[in-house]
Each structure stands twice: as structure tokens, then as C-alpha cells.
Amino acid sequence: MSAYVYILRCKDDSLYTGWTNDLEKRLAAHNSGKGAKYTRGRGPVKLVYSEQLTTKEDALQRECEIKKMTRSVKLALIEQKLNK
């Protein structure tokens, strides 16, 4: 089963990183106020980056790596994905 790590841009221009098995369902949850506590009140959110990984463990590890990145590195990662 595939897993995804993703970055959302909130309406206050902050970035949120998470993981899921169902990207569309999770994005809908964030936008309905039923996602993470962080994104509640910061919606609507926009998906700006995602990676598909093979296992939940890989997604959790990648999420941890991305969360340790500075905002500028995350923005560069997003930009790099857009330019592919």
C-alpha cells in the first residue's frame, strides 16, 4: 500500500507537513476543519508538494526529514517539484 508525505500552504502562508495513505481524503479533512489541529482555523489549505512512498514507515521517516528542514529549504523543495 502506498503512503504519501505532503506539504500544505495555509491561508496565513504557513506550511504544514504530514503523511497519509489517502491524499485526497486527507486534504478534504484538512479543508473541512477535521484535519490536524494546526490547520484548523488556517484553512483553506492548498496542497503544494507531495511524494509517494512505498510504505507507511518510509512516509513517516520522510515526514520527519522534511519537518526538520528550514522554511527556505522547504520552499526550494516545493519549487524544485514545480519545475520538473
Strands (E), the chain: 3-9, 15-20, 46-53
SS3 10: coil
The count of domains in the chain is 1
- pLDDT value at residue 81: 83
Single pTM value for the model:
0.93
Closest CA to 36 of 16, 56, 60: 16
pLDDT, one tens digit for every residue, the chain (84 residues): 799 999 999 999 999 999 999 999 999 999 998 988 999 989 899 999 999 999 999 999 999 999 999 999 999 999 998 887
Return the pLDDT at 25.
96
Q: What is the CATH number of the domain that holds 45?
A: 3.40.1440.10
Domain limits for position 58:
3-82
Cβ distance 15 to 66 under 8 Å?
no
